[in-house]
Structure 1
Amino acid sequence: MSFVYDKLLGGKSGAIGLLVLSVIILIVFPMLLDGFRLNLVGKYLTYAFAAISLVLLWGYGGTLSLGQGIFFGLGGYGMAMFLKLEASSPENTAIQSTPGIPDFMDWNQITALPWFWEPFSSFGFTLLAILVLPALFAYFIGVAMFKRRVGGVYFAIITQVIAVILTVLIVGQQGYTGGINGITDLRTLNGWDITSDSAKYLFYYINCGLLIGVILLSRFILTSKFGRLLLAIRDKEDRVRFSGYDVANFKIFIFCFAAFVSALGGAMFTLQVGFMSPSFVGIVPSIEMVIFAAVGGRMSLIGVVYGTLLINFGKTTFSESFPELWLFLMGGTFIAVVMFFPNGLAGLWSQYSPDIIKKIRSTFGMANPELPLSSPGLKETNS
């Protein structure tokens, strides 16, 4: 019981914070929002996977990646390839010059399914590829970078460059990837209509369940000895190295795990939204993911979920009325967060919530309003 309470839930503060988040996304949102808006929230929550990965990698590991869109996109494209092959059966593509292949391949005069597409006709292989291939790609990047002690701004720039290269590759190989339009017209999952309202509701709840599971798993990692060493590496890397630990291996592991988490969000995005395109792979989405983490609090697994929801709600609201000003607002928000409250929403909550709760207790005549209070909301434990 102590293991579950302390390691997975993060003690009293972490348990209450996770309970509040679960109630909001599993009960409040479905009760208050219609199907269209709830599907939008589901899309926002897929971005929260990438934001959580940045808490692990940037907040605790001290390594800023400006390329988390790479892994988000790889997961999304993996799921989209399976769904597109199912939608491209010979019966559904009988009017094409070459039935049985995706429509964009036929438009580009490709007459046979490429070899690297063929394994994605298996749902089991697809699930494995979604989780393994992004982590494997991250492993090769991590070994190339961390074993040579490349870090800081240089690592951030390199990940950004890789995101650009991957975007150019996807757009340029239109016949194999769908190009700038991406992979669209995704209809069924093992014969089940994924465009129906019931499917969207189910995917929303699956998405929420996976998000909560990722938070619990991440908490377990961060409250373990590995998590304490990760913090030590962030603050005093040379001292940890001189103590006999292989710092590069720690960084490689957390980078691979962050890639796994981001890819899971990308796969759920494809199921939730019904398409995947290179616009979710490049620099802009990767930087937006960093902003989600910064606004929520890069040391808070729960705070970044609120930050992701807040920024995306704002993006949807303001872009509908002032589409030409949204990017300026996004940049201004990031600058304001960095300058005035670098710990994000989680930092503000931990700073002001004790006084707020004391006033509430005093107002309603609750006993012992002066007792010290722990913050139950967004604050994370570092132990």
Structure 2
Amino acid sequence: MPDIVELVACPSRPDRRGRLQEMPFRHDAWTPHEIATLETMFRADMALDEIVAAIGRGHAGVRDKIATLGLRRHSQRPWSADEDAWISREYGTRPTADLAGDLGRSCCAVYARAGLLDLTEGNPPKWSDWEDAQLRAGYERAIPIAQIATLIGRTLSGTATRANTLGLRHPNKPADWSEAEARRALTLASEGHRYLAVIEMLVAEGFPRRTKAGFAPRLRKLGYGRGWGRPWTPEEDALLTRVYREGTSRTPLIERLGRTSSSINWRVEHLALRGTHANRDGFRGGPVWTDADIATLREHYGKVPMDELAARMGRTKASLFTRANLLGLVHGYHRAWTDDERRALILAHANGIALPDLAAALGRKYPAVHKYAGKLGYAFERRPRAGRMPTLTDILALRTADGD
């Protein structure tokens, strides 16, 4: 399906219904001939500058009319200086799908161009009505979630999370998989981990163990799909060439352009790119952390609101939390662990107490306890829950195998 740029029509402006009223005369109103000319030239993949010259209107007016008419395309035309200036101003402040609609291009094309212009995204903008409409239509038609994410210009994990928020359930999701397990499996698979590694990661996080023979087919049924066979654009080729020249991560190309590792490897051979790819940043999709970024994070973490700090640094809040955790930074509102709590964690691990029961006894959230236990080297495998919830006093009264 290389030519699909939307699954269902969704007007970018509300459809006002009611009694028709006489429209006042406007000297700059679009005539039927101008609209027909615009649609004909747009579907012929004519450049925006050529359309502007033929109609005799400004770039902003033509772009607005394209968005109003809901026109979209997989354009192979080169980007103009006006489009570059516009996307440099708007990128990161609005959903990629909205920008693609205004420009009359696909989300992949907008992302590729933004990558070449060294534009970075901050916190993800709110989901638009068009994105939600494509997501619902994609789930109704059982289209792989990876393809839906590529279509609307969102990450796979973000798309799956939004679907869960809207109460959507993919028709091909296995009946015995929970929504949390499905989202986590899709995220790990999209990051490039092998299936066996994904299985072990899920088990370590408390999900049921799946067999290797059954995991891959179920993941594909869940919606972990391949690309659509789209032709490579000049912008994508330029991005790939720069990635290999600078040795940066390939993850943005895999995740945001909807390309598989096999597709990228094939294109590398086609472009005759040689040398070993350092991939120094692993699976990181965002910009590289510099010494100045780390110094800024150390100085302001826990003192400046995370929304403000993320906007100032041009990063997501998730990336700030992850980097702060790696640096050992502690946020101001985090409650420090007491000696009794640390001893209770050790005793709970030695006596077979489930991690959710321990979290309840400590009055802490499960993710926080799970992360702290991992730092201390205690892995809580899947354990049965207790019939009666133990208290902190009950756990401290237990003994370890050494009698301590």
TM over 0.5: no
TM bin, normalised by shorter chain, reads under 0.3
Q: TM-score, normalised by structure 2?
A: 0.22
Q: TM-score, normalised by structure 1?
A: 0.22
Identify the structure with the greater helix proportion.
1
Bigger relative contact order, structure 1 or 2 (CA pairs below 8 A, ≥6 apart): 1
